[in-house]
Amino acid sequence: MISVTPRVTPLSVGLLRQKGSNSALYEMSQKSAIVPMPESSNKKTTELKIGLFDISGYSPTMQFILLTAAVFVFYLVYGYMQELIFKLDGFRSFGWYLTLVQFGLYTIFGLTELQFKADKKRRIPLSSYAVIAFLTVSTMGLSNTSVGYLNYPTQVIFKCCKLIPVMLGGVLIQGKKYKCIDVTAVLCMCVGLILFTLADSSVSPSFNTYGVILISLALLADGAIGNVQEKALKQYQGSNSEMVLYSYSIGFIYILIGLVLSGRLLPAFEFCKDYPVETYGYAVIFSISGYCGVNIVLTLVKSFGALIAVTVTTCRKAITIILSFMFFAKPFTFQYVWSGLIVVFGIYLNVYSKNKDSWDTYLLIKYNEVKSLLGYTRTYRKYPSATTDV
């Protein structure tokens, strides 16, 4: 968290003092306003890199901006290539094979990256990686497969609603109680998701209920994986390259066994052999951008927490939806727009609820300062005095 001491003008102090109900806010305004940004430099400085570029020397705010920009660049390429691969006729049923290739490439990238690390020791237990790998296989495999059965924007809007399974799990498993604003956020996401799906089913020829089931299961796994990764990284001080290497290498074994037992490995291999550029060629670009994106998201999770990382990736998904309509011809209805905005509003409520006190104080101070800069003052009408003005 960055502590920012706001400039409190005499006018803003006067406005804060006007009502008794604002007395607590006035006291808070005299202290530091807390802006929900990266952790301050009180913690020990650790190495922070984007690829080969070391950004450890930058301020936390600049680190956050650079990491966010990198997430957008790599994952926009990732989303474009993913949709492009599934435009190939006949590839629809080979989503799990694409995931196998992706996990295999991630394993190679992880091994290569680890060779440049001074510390090659594994810190996180294999039992933890077994769980993380299963969740990773579930979310990525089911998500990749669902693209063949759903309009791509519908798949993305589902992935924006990770809060729904997280909250349901908290209630059913841990008996948690949530605030009204959190419940409202989930309801907005549910309503927006239903309306977006109904719009897709009415205008898109590629809509399929099976795809909805696949992406819903992927969403359940995706809702758990961020917190599991965060706990493992912080508890055992593991590195991003270690997390990626073991998660995807174990996941590769899971998928390979599944494809062999189901008899789907050879048909997929024979199909891709006939279209090497459109499958393996695109898959390499898809995997490189995805691998870089995974590392940066893990850095976000480790440095700034799961909430900030989810917020950044959700914003990225909104841009992905817009670009999908721009680059790939598909039916469009304005119901996509306003139902998507309902989902975004639900996401905003969730983020706001996690930072309500600090944002309320900070925004009130800034609001009063803006009014002061605009020259707003409260004037009082002069009434005649019975003794001097009559």
Q: Check residue 13 and give its pLDDT.
A: 40
Q: What is the pLDDT of residues 341-383, one digit of tens each?
A: 887 788 778 777 776 776 677 778 877 888 787 765 555 455 5
Q: Which of 151-160, 196-205, 208-217 has the lowest mean pLDDT?
A: 196-205
- Domain boundaries of the chain, sorted by first residue: 37-354
Q: What is the pLDDT of residues 93-120, one digit of tens each?
A: 899 999 999 999 999 988 888 887 777 7
Are 193 and 157 in contact by the 8 Å Cβ rule? The answer is yes
Quick one: what percent of the chain has pLDDT higher than 70? 74
Q: What is the pLDDT of residues 118-141, one digit of tens each?
A: 777 888 889 889 999 999 999 889
Are 359 and 352 in contact by the 8 Å Cβ rule? The answer is yes
Over 90: is that where the pLDDT of 74 sits? yes
Return d(Cα 138, Cα 131) in angstroms, integer.
11
Q: What is the pLDDT of residues 245-288, one digit of tens each?
A: 899 999 999 999 999 999 999 999 999 999 999 999 999 999 99
Q: Which DSSP symbol is given to 336?
A: H
Over 90: is that where the pLDDT of 168 sits? no
Are 10 and 16 in contact by the 8 Å Cβ rule? The answer is no
Return d(Cα 168, Cα 174) in angstroms, integer.
10
Region of 384 please: left (phi>0), alpha (psi -120 to 50) or beta.
beta
Over 80: is that where the pLDDT of 83 sits? yes
Amino acid (1-letter code) at residue 57: G
CB neighbour list of residue 12: distance below 8 Å, 6 or more residues apart:
29, 365, 368, 369, 371, 372
Average pLDDT, the chain: 76
Q: Check residue 360 and give its pLDDT.
A: 74
Q: In the numeric block, which tokens belong to residue 170?
A: 């908290």
If we measure between CA atoms, which residue out of 105, 89, 108, 103 comes closest to residue 278? 89
Hey, which bits of 194-308 come out as E strands?
Answer: none
Highest-scoring range by mean pLDDT, 27-41, 43-57, 330-344: 330-344
